[in-house]
Structures are given as structure tokens and as C-alpha cells.
């Protein structure tokens, strides 16, 4: 830029940025490069002498003069320090577009000039507008989802010093907790006070475990809603992540599970009543079996014995010249013997008399009977053959355990294809454990879920009625192991013997 009429140099004329040369005294345009002409829409139109305010509508003339004054003196080679601002430029058609202008002060041939280098921010602004619009849409969708979520969406922040806060609470706060979000954020300890005292320990322990391992926080408990004078069950699920300064933040949701909890408790109570009814029915059945077995043994057995004695007496008095009568009497005597044997077998099936001798003797007898009837080797082992359980296992429980044992052996005979069964009875502290192990083909998981698998279901229900458990597992070397574990009643303390010393 030389001579009396400064102009932009050739490289500046061809520069991709907008460049304006302004007279610092008159604030009129001295020269404008091609990029600026194109962006302003002044191609072919002279701009020299046009007031700078024409293309800078957002800057008043006084502001432009103040700007020129603030640039100060030259700092070298005729160029001053620079000043940058964001403004808008007016096109020839009157429209505007955003731009960033960097102003520098220059001196040429004693003439004060301003050089303004401009960047068109239209694309940047459009991108920012689009981003802001997208964020607004995202926020609107997020709020719509959160506010229609059945529960409370929240953020919980636990600081390193133990203090905590709720940075975010959705509109579900008031319907769920009976507390407005702002009230809970102002007093974060309020939530802990809402939890029933007996459930607070579990809440704090679950939080501590989640914090230590950064694992999911899953807790359910009861809270007192003072606004409705009611207790409500809630479930809390949250995912933790570390926050600045050693804090941990959880993002999660709380939901009302009162109805499902009530249904669950109703189901448990119903199941307990059903179990009591089943146990009662089994006891009644066992008592009825014992009564029928006793009547069969006493009445039918006695009558058959009398018949046999009468037949024997009649047979001894039959005339020898009538052998056909003696043959008939012998047939009847054999028939009575078979009937007596059937009566004995039926009465044993109804209630083995060995149960009166104790559970150990009864199980050992049943093992021998199974071996004879099924042809499968059955080994019975007990840690103590003289195990005294009379005072710790009442007759009803002994009978129920015996029936489970019978059903287990029946299943082995029907389904296992086994050649050997090992039965172990042992006492483990205050529990009695009966294990039936076969070397058969085993039981598949699907077989346990068959809809008509009443044998396994009945065994399990009997064990549960005894306050115990029944488990099925694979036996060592193949086959199936059935384990029944029941709790024994505490042994009663024997009364002290009377003193023999004279008073």
C-alpha cells in the first residue's frame, strides 16, 4: 500500500478471508478484496468511499471510532495490536450474516488506516443452531420418556466425606415418595428418614457394597409416606460410576412394588396354608392307614387263624374213605394260609410294624424288602445302628420320612435301570440326613419339570412339611442321589434322679 490512494496488495485481494481497508479518520471504505465483495453481494459495484457503517449495522459510528482509538499506536512495521469481535455484516440485498472481524491499525504515507479481516460464521452458526435444536429435541424426548416412566428417575451423589445429594429428580418424586423434588434436593437426608428403621441397615449395606465394587445397586424396602399415612414398598436399581474428587454417582430408578409385594406375601401365606393342609392330610392318611392295618391284622388275621384251626380240626375227623373231602380241606387250608400271608403283606404296606421299633429299623427293613421284591442290591448304612431318635423325631415325622424313602425306592425300580442302591442315614449336628444313591441312568433336568411328575413333587412337599429339604443331584460315577435333610427337635433334658439320701 503506497501512494496517495492506498489499496490492498495482490495477495490480500486473492485471500480466502474477507479483507476491508477503512480510513480511520472518515470511517469510509478505501478498498475491499474479492471475497468480501462476493459475500456482500457487491460484485462489480464500487465500494470505495462507502461508510463502513453501511456494512456494519450492529456498530454505531461512535463505537467504530472508539475501536480505532483503542488500537493505540503502532507496534512495529506500521502495524498496531489487534482487536477481535463478533458482529454481523449487511449484504447488498439488506440481509445480514454473522462474522468475526479482526481489526488492526496501520499508517501509510501519514494516513491512518484500519484493516479488518473477516471470517464468515454462517456455517458455524448454522451448525450451532442445528446442534442446539437437536439438543432441545433430545432433551424434550428425554423429559417425555422420564416423566412417563412409572417411577422416579434420579441421580444420587455420594461425596468422599460421606455427604450426599440428589443432582437430578424426575417428576415421579412426589407421586412415589410424597415429597417434592426441590424439598428432597434441599434436604437429601430426608430419603433415609423415610425408610422404616428396620430396613435402613439393608439400604446402607447395599449402597456400601455397590460403592466398593462399583456394582449395580439393587435394594427393596419399605418407606413411610407421611402425606398418606401409609407404608409403601419400593425397589431401587442404580448403576454407579466414579465422579470427581473421589465421589461416586448412581443413575437409577425407584419404582413402587407394593402391589407385587402384597401379592407375593399373599402367595407365601397361601402356600404355607396349603403346606399345613397337605401335612394334615398326610398325617390323617397315615393315621387311617395305621387304623386299617391294625383292624386287618387283628380282625381278619384273628378270624383267619380261627378258620385255620377249625379246618385243621375238621380235617382230622374226616373219614378216610372219602379222600375228595380231605383234598378239599387241604385246598381250603392252603387258601387260608395264602390269605393270612396277604393280610400280613397288606397290613405291612399300610403301616410297617417296624416303625414302632424306630426309624432306623424301619428303613433297614424296607431296604431288605426292596432288595427281595425288585431284585436290586440295596445296601443300608447308618453311622450308628443304635441311633436314638425317639425323643427327637416324633412318630408322624418318622412315618413321613419313611414314605419319602419308599417313594424314592419306587422311582429307582421304575425309572433308573439301576443294579445297586446305597442308602445312608446319618446325623449331622441337629439335622438328620437320609441319602439314597443309585447307579442308574440318572435323571434329566427336563424330567423334574414334567407336569405329571407327582412322585418327585410329593416327596419334595413331604420334606418341606417336615421343615426340611429334598435335593436331587448326580451321583458319583453316574445315577441319581436323593438327599433328604430334616431338622431334629432339641433333645429334652432328662429330669434329675430322686435323691436316695434320707431327709
Top-level class of domain 149-256 = alpha beta
pLDDT at 211 over 90: yes
C-alpha cell at position 500: 436316695
Do the beta carbons of residue 358 and residue 402 sit within 8 Å? no
Beta pairing, strands 469-474 & 79-90: unpaired
Do the beta carbons of residue 443 and residue 472 sit within 8 Å? yes
From 80, 85, 120, select the one nearest 99 (Cα to Cα).
120
Tell me which range, 203-217, 296-310, 465-479, 484-498, is most confidently predicted by mean pLDDT.
203-217
Angle among Cα 119, 64, 22 to the nearest 5 degrees reads: 65
pLDDT at 235 over 90: yes
Residues making up the chain, counted from first to last: 503
Do the beta carbons of residue 430 and residue 490 sit within 8 Å? yes
- In CATH terms, the fold of domain 355-487 is Heat Shock Protein 90 (3.30.565)
pLDDT higher for 30 or 299? 30
Lowest-confidence segment of 52-56, 260-264, 299-303, 484-488 by average pLDDT: 299-303
Over residues 379-395, the pLDDT tens digits come to 898 875 545 565 567 77
Tell me which range, 71-85, 212-226, 412-426, is most confidently predicted by mean pLDDT.
212-226
Do the beta carbons of residue 336 and residue 304 sit within 8 Å? yes
Query: Concatenated DSSP letters for 135-191?
Result: HHHHHHHHHHHHHTSSSEEEEEEE-TTS-EEEEEE-TTHHHHHSS-HHHHHH-THHH
Lowest-confidence segment of 269-278, 305-314, 349-358, 428-437 by average pLDDT: 349-358
Q: What is the mean pLDDT of residues 341-346?
A: 80
pLDDT at 49 over 90: no
pLDDT at 352 over 80: no
Lowest-confidence segment of 99-103, 325-329, 496-500 by average pLDDT: 496-500
Q: How high is the pLDDT of residue 256?
A: 93
pLDDT at 181 over 70: yes
The pLDDT > 90 percentage for the chain reads 22
d(CA 319, CA 307): 20
Place 129 in a pLDDT band, splitting at 50, 70 and 90: confident
Q: How high is the pLDDT of residue 327?
A: 83
d(CA 450, CA 426): 31
Q: How high is the pLDDT of residue 502?
A: 42
pLDDT at 84 over 80: yes
Place 76 in a pLDDT band, splitting at 50, 70 and 90: very low
Place 447 in a pLDDT band, splitting at 50, 70 and 90: low
pLDDT at 498 over 70: no
pLDDT at 451 over 60: no
Domains of the chain, by residue range, sit at 10-125, 149-256, 266-350, 355-487
- In CATH terms, the fold of domain 10-125 is Beta-Lactamase (3.30.450)
C-alpha cell at position 269: 401365606
Sorted by sequence, the CB contacts under 8 Å of residue 58 that are 6+ apart come out as 87, 88
Q: What is the mean pLDDT of residues 38-50?
A: 82
Buried (b) or exposed (e) across 429-464, using 16+ Cβ within 10 A?
eeebebbbbbbbebbeeeeeeeeeeeebeebbbbbb
Q: Are domains 149-256 and 355-487 of this chain identical in fold?
A: no
d(CA 315, CA 338): 18
Do the beta carbons of residue 60 and residue 69 sit within 8 Å? no
Q: How high is the pLDDT of residue 359?
A: 84
pLDDT higher for 309 or 321? 309
pLDDT higher for 278 or 368? 368
Amino acid at each position: 500500500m503506497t501512494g496517495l490512494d492506498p489499496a490492498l496488495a495482490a495477495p490480500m485481494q486473492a485471500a480466502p478471508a474477507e479483507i476491508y481497508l477503512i480510513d480511520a479518520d472518515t470511517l469510509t471504505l478505501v478498498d475491499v478484496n474479492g471475497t468480501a465483495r462476493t459475500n456482500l453481494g457487491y460484485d462489480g459495484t464500487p465500494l470505495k468511499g462507502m461508510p463502513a457503517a453501511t456494512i456494519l449495522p450492529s456498530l454505531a459510528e461512535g463505537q467504530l471510532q472508539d475501536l480505532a482509538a483503542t488500537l493505540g499506536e503502532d507496534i512495529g512495521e506500521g502495524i498496531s495490536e489487534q482487536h477481535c469481535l463478533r458482529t454481523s455484516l449487511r449484504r447488498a440485498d439488506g440481509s445480514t450474516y454473522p462474522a468475526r472481524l479482526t481489526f488492526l491499525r496501520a499508517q501509510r504515507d501519514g494516513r491512518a488506516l484500519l484493516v479488518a479481516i473477516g471470517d464468515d460464521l454462517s456455517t458455524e452458526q448454522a451448525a450451532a443452531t442445528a446442534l442446539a435444536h437437536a439438543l432441545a429435541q433430545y432433551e424434550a424426548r428425554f423429559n417425555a420418556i422420564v416423566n412417563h416412566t412409572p417411577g422416579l428417575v434420579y441421580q444420587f451423589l455420594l461425596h468422599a466425606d460421606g455427604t450426599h445429594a440428589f443432582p437430578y429428580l424426575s417428576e415421579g418424586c412426589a407421586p412415589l415418595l410424597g415429597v417434592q423434588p426441590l424439598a428432597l434436593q434441599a434436604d437429601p437426608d430426608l430419603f433415609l428418614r423415610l425408610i422404616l428403621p428396620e430396613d435402613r441397615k439393608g439400604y446402607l449395606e447395599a449402597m456400601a457394597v455397590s460403592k466398593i465394587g462399583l456394582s449395580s445397586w439393587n435394594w427393596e424396602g419399605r418407606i413411610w409416606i407421611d402425606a398418606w399415612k401409609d407404608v409403601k414398598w419400593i425397589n431401587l436399581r442404580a448403576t454407579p460410576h466414579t465422579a470427581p474428587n473421589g465421589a461416586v454417582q448412581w443413575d437409577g430408578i425407584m419404582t413402587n412394588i407394593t402391589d407385587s409385594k402384597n401379592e407375593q406375601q399373599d402367595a407365601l401365606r397361601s402356600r404355607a396354608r396349603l403346606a399345613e393342609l397337605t401335612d394334615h392330610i398326610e398325617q390323617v392318611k397315615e393315621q387311617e392307614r395305621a387304623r386299617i392295618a391294625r383292624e386287618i391284622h387283628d380282625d381278619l388275621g384273628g378270624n383267619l387263624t380261627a378258620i385255620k384251626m377249625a379246618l385243621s380240626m375238621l380235617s382230622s375227623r374226616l373219614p378216610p374213605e372219602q379222600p375228595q373231602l380231605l383234598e378239599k380241606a387241604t385246598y381250603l387250608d392252603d387258601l387260608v394260609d395264602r390269605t393270612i400271608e396277604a393280610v400280613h403283606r397288606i397290613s405291612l404296606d399300610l403301616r410297617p410294624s417296624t416303625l414302632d421299633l424306630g426309624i432306623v429299623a424301619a428303613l433297614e427293613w424296607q431296604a431288605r424288602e426292596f432288595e427281595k421284591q425288585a431284585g436290586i442290591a440295596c445296601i443300608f448304612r447308618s453311622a450308628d445302628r443304635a441311633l436314638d431318635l425317639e425323643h427327637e423325631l416324633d412318630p408322624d415325622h418318622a412315618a413321613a420320612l419313611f414314605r419319602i424313602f419308599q417313594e424314592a425306592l419306587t422311582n429307582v425300580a421304575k425309572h433308573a435301570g439301576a443294579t445297586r442302591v446305597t442308602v445312608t442315614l446319618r446325623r449331622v449336628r441337629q439335622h438328620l440326613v437320609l441319602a439314597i444313591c443309585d447307579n442308574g441312568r440318572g435323571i434329566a433336568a427336563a424330567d423334574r419339570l414334567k407336569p405329571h411328575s407327582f412322585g418327585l413333587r410329593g416327596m419334595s412337599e413331604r420334606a418341606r412339611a417336615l421343615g426340611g429339604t429334598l435335593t436331587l443331584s448326580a451321583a458319583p460315577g453316574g445315577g441319581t442321589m436323593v438327599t433328604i435333610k430334616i431338622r431334629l427337635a432339641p433333645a429334652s433334658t432328662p429330669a434329675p434322679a430322686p435323691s436316695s439320701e434320707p431327709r
